[in-house]
Structure 1
Amino acid sequence: MTQKKDKNGLTEKEFLKDYKAGDYERPSVTADILVLGTSADLRTLKILLVKRDEHPYLEQWALPGGFVRKDETAYQAAERKLSQETGLEGVYLDQIYTFTNPARDPRTWVMTIAYLALVSDTSDDVLHGVTCAGDYDSDGGVQDAAWFDLVIDAESISFINAERNVEIRYSIENKRFKNGRIYYENWVSKPASKEELAFDHIEIIIESILKLKAEFEHTDLSFNMIGEKFTLPDLQALYELVLGKKLYKTNFRAMIAPKVEATGAKMKSVCSNKMSAEYRYIG
């Protein structure tokens, strides 16, 4: 087979042999993960934050994450850092967006690939190994990992952990942006408390929440945020919590009917505290 040559008369093998990667500036790449669940009573969204144990942003709360190694994909890096920093494994992970602002990290040019992780258990029991997380690799560990209440209203987004006496708050404004011929809406945030999240993690959280809201009603994502067995009132409460709106019972049940089946048993609804038919996800 004849090998193709470029304008300099080089085959691909010859070209690669002389290629100098150092001739081009290259960013470092990280993977950051927003872990989202709900309170046990399905009344509050919960987000997992870690407290950094090194510069930059020493002792500030941040999303779990770290640098992508040269022998792994960004997805694998997200799985690894999530396990190391929080103890969470085998959870749903979905790539959200790539953040490329050259000034987003004070150390050097660092791009991050953001992931959304959805979980059904936000108890402290699912977190383990946090204090020794820094022993795993040179990427550092964390001082602490904790679930925060994620409270969103028309004007603000807050992260609250009463046990640690921490409340991080941002004001948000809904703005319109043009892309080609169309306009789209997005939230623009400003710090509204003394304490802030590290890096540009508030932007990662905003993009993740908006994408989740846009997709939640038309996908099966909800079943990653509820137990293997559930009641329909509780499932509807989860949808309403994420979407931020009330749903008509009849329409909701028609929508999810093809995705679930009754087990024949009953269980107590966490919303109503009454016994109700038990269901499971069938896909």
Structure 2
Amino acid sequence: MQTLFYTWQNYRCAYDRLAPDGSPDGVPLLLLHPIGVGLSRTFWQRFCNEWYRTGQRNLIYNPDLLGCGESAMPQIAYYPLDWAKQLQYFLQTVIQTPVVLVVQGALLPVAIELAHRQPDLIRGLVMSGPPARTLLAKANPAWQQRVSWNLFNSPLGGGFYRYARRSQFLQSFSIRQLFATSDAVDSEWLAMLKEGSADLASRHAVFSFLAGFWRQDYTAKLATIAQPTLVAMGEQASSISRKGKTETPDERLHDYLACLPNSEGTKLPGRNVLPYEATTEFVRAIVPFVERLSG
């Protein structure tokens, strides 16, 4: 598989275009990876392998967001709207056809912004392990976000990132916050994070996320998403927010389905990174949804 590139706002951006053996069929998938120490488009490798192993024939576009993976890593504050504009350009100039957008976790605001900006090129959405709705219903104060960003964007932040990319920290964090079982935090996962965080410039995207630039009120924009939407929730889904910690996975799922006008939901084994920790079940759950949109 060869890494491909395009240029957006003078930045070099990387992506994979995956295809089945023979002629592709159905609506393409556009994958949106999570942001975190060492995370990039490689997060989706297990998913892509399983997708084709089950005989699916959709094209898959798997880009690196700016600041991640093999894309450029400028020292800037990244907002969800910035990444949405990057993906909008990618849709318009590279893919040039409607897609099913598959988004992981708290990168949901990027998917919301993209669907709002380019609804004609989004045929449907799959939301995997979205955050507690309370996190997307009230904006963090702008001054608080900037203070956090300035703190991270300092020598102190650089030191913290060096600590955070240590294998021991990554393993502990993954067990505490991401995976349902400690056994699922395997050597493949840790090696991926270690390799992905080797470039210290990868910290800017992570710190933008930690500064809370994604914490806006998306209630109105969620309610205007008319495309079919599938919400996949882990049976042991947890939250980073104090309010979110009190809700059950069923309550969170119901909260999203009540907000989205054309939606359905499913619960799967696992916690917060379903495409990686419950790959087989995740693929099995979304295949019928994608097939309906391909008809």
Fold similarity call, TM over 0.5: no
Bigger share in strand: 1
Greater C-alpha Rg: 1
Bigger relative contact order, structure 1 or 2 (CA pairs below 8 A, ≥6 apart): 2
